Chain A
Amino acid sequence: MNLFSPPRVGRRAWKVWMRNRDVFMKTYQTNFIPPIVEPILYLFALGFGLGIFIQEIDGMPYVQFIAPALLAIATMNTSFFECTYGSYIRMYYQKTFDAIIATPVSLEEVIAGELLWGSTKSTIHAGIMLVIIMAFGLVKVPMALLVLPFSFLAGFLFSTIAMCFTAITVNIDSLNYPIYLFITPMFLFSGTFFPFSALPVQMQYFAKVLLPLVHVVTVTRGFATGQFDLGIILSLLWILAVSAILYVLSVNLMKKRLII
C-alpha cells in the first residue's frame, strides 16, 4: 500500500464528527473543565506570579507575552490528546471504528472525522481560553479573533500528527513516548515562555524545521498582538503544507493498521 495515495473521503466523515460531538455534549461536565483549568493556572502562576520578576519582552509585559503561547499550547494539547488517547480508546477498546465501518462509512471517513473532531475540540478550548484572556485585556481585539479559525487549522495539524502515532503505537502506554519526548519539549522550547531568539542559533533552525508548535505560537502571537509580518505567512504556509502531508499519511497508516 502506498502511504501517500490520496484518501477517498466523502461527506460521511461528518457523521463520525457528529458522533464524537454528541458524546462530548453528553459528557462535557466531566471532560470539559480540566483542560480549561490548566492553562488558566499557568496564566496566573507564570504570567501574574513569576511575571512580576521579569522585565518586558519585545516591549510587552510577561503575562501578555505568554498569553498567546498558552492559547497555542491549549490548541496543541487538546487535539493531540484527543487523537492519541481518545482515538486509541475508540479504535482498540470500544471498537467504535469497527462498528462504524460496518455501515456505508469507510475507514478513511472515520479517520477524517476523528481529525475534524480533534480540530473542533481545539477550537472550542482555544475559544474559551481566548474569552478569559480577552477579559484580562491581554490581546488586541478584533485581530485576536483570527485565533479562532486558526486554532481549527492548528488543531488539525496536531490531530494528524497524533493520528500517525496512534496508527503505529504498540499499545496505549507507548503513547507516553510522543507525549514526553515530543509534546513536552515543544511546550517548553517553542518561544512559549521565553523568546525563541534566546535559543542557540542551530537549535532555532532545528526547531523551525521540525517543531510545529514554533509556527503555531508565531501565528497565534502575531494575531493576538496585532503584528502581522512575513514570518507569520511563512509559518502559516509551513502549517498548511505539513498538515496536508500528514493528513494523507495518517489516514494511510491507519488503513495499514486496521485493514489486514
Chain B
Amino acid sequence: MSNVVTVENLTKKYGDLTAVSGVSFEVKEAECFGILGPNGAGKTSTIRIIQCFYPKTSGKVEVAGLSVDEHPERIKQILGVSPQEANLDPEFTVLENLLVYSRYFDIPEELGRRKASELLEFLQLHDKKDTVVEKLSGGMKRRLLLARALVNDPRILILDEPTIGLDPQARHLIWDKLRDLRRQGVTVVLTTHYMEEAEQLCDRLVIMDNGKIIAGGSPKGLIKEYAGENVIETRTSPEVHLCLEEKKDRLSYDTVGETTYVFSENPREALAELLEVCQIEKTTVRRSTLEDVFLKLTGRELRE
C-alpha cells in the first residue's frame, strides 16, 4: 500500500511558539488515521498544513506525492475537509450549500446536482434539502459538513473533530457513514478528543502532546503496550497507596481524585493480591481502553 500522506520532520512555529516540533508519520491508501492529543497539542496545526492552509516552518509534507508548498491547488482538488467549526453558508438551504461548494471545484452544474442529491440521500438529509442551514440541528449540520466535504469525490477526507458536540445517535450515524466511505477506498485522516471514536474508526493513530508525537500504532496495540488488557479501578486511600508503593516493580498505578487505576500484566493475580494483601474494597476490573492510554501518556492535569 502506498503512502497518501507523508509528513517528515514537520515543524510549525507561530512567532516564538512552536506548535509542531519534528513530527513524522505517513498515512496509507484507504486507511483511517487518527491524530489524538490534548488541546494545544498541535493536531489542528498539523492538519491545516496538510490541507495547504498554513505554510510549514520546516520539514517535508506531501499529499498524493505532491508537495504542499508547490501544488496547493492540485492537492485541494482531491481533498475533502470537514472543519471543527461549522462554516456552512447560513443563508443557503442544505442543497444550495452543496451546489455553491461544488462550483468552487469547477464541477459542472448538472453533475453537481446529481452528486448533491446522492450525498443528501447517503447522509439522510434528503427531507431537509430545502431547509435553511440556520434551522438545522447540530447533528444535521455535522452531516451536511460531511456531505459538503464529499462533493468532489475526494481521495482523502480530512476530519477535524467530526462528531464534536453530538448526541450518541448522531455520532453513531456519522461513524457508520465513515465506515462506508472507508470501504469505498477513501483515505481518512481525523483528529478527535473522543477516545471511543478513535478506537472505533482508526486503523492506526498517533498521540501528540506539546507538538510532538509521543506514541503511535493501532488502537489495540497501543492499549496492550501502555495499559495492558485490563485495568483495576479502586477507591483512593492512603492505605491503598502505601500498599501499591510496595508492589511498584510489578504494578503501575495512577490516581485521579477518588479513583486509583492499577495497571498490570496479569490483572487476575494483581486483583487477588490487592484484595488479600491490601484489603481493598470496592474494586472492579474492566477492559482497558484507549482513554487509559491517553491519560497515562498525556497526564491528567487540565490543558487549556
Contacts and interface: CB of A to CB of B under 8 A. Distances in A.
B169 interface: no
B54 A260 contact: yes
B156 to A, nearest CB: 12
Contact of A102 (B51, B54, B55, B96): B51
Contacts, number: 63
Interface residues of A, number: 22
Contacts of A59: none
A104 B73 contact: yes
Nearest to A103: B104
Nearest to B73: A104
B77 interface: yes
Interface string A14-26: 0100110011001
B92 A26 contact: yes
Secondary structure dominating the interface of A:
helix
A141 to B, nearest CB: 37
A141 B303 CA distance: 68
B76 A103 contact: yes
A55 B96 CA distance: 55
A46 interface: no
Given A15-B103, A104-B106, A99 B55 contact: no
Contacts of B72: 106
Contact of B76 (A96, A98, A102): A102
Chain B interface extent, by class: 20 to 34
A41 to B, nearest CB: 28
A22 B96 contact: yes
B290 interface: no
B47 to A, nearest CB: 11
B105 interface: yes
Given A23-B91, A23-B92, A26-B91, A102 B100 contact: no
B103 A18 contact: yes
A104 B53 contact: no
B51 A22 contact: no
Interface of B: 14, 51, 53-55, 72-74, 76-77, 79, 81, 83, 85, 87-92, 96, 100-101, 103-106, 152
15 contacts: A12-B106, A95-B85, A96-B87, A96-B89, A99-B87, A99-B88, A99-B101, A101-B53, A102-B81, A102-B83, A103-B76, A103-B105, A106-B72, A259-B54, A259-B55
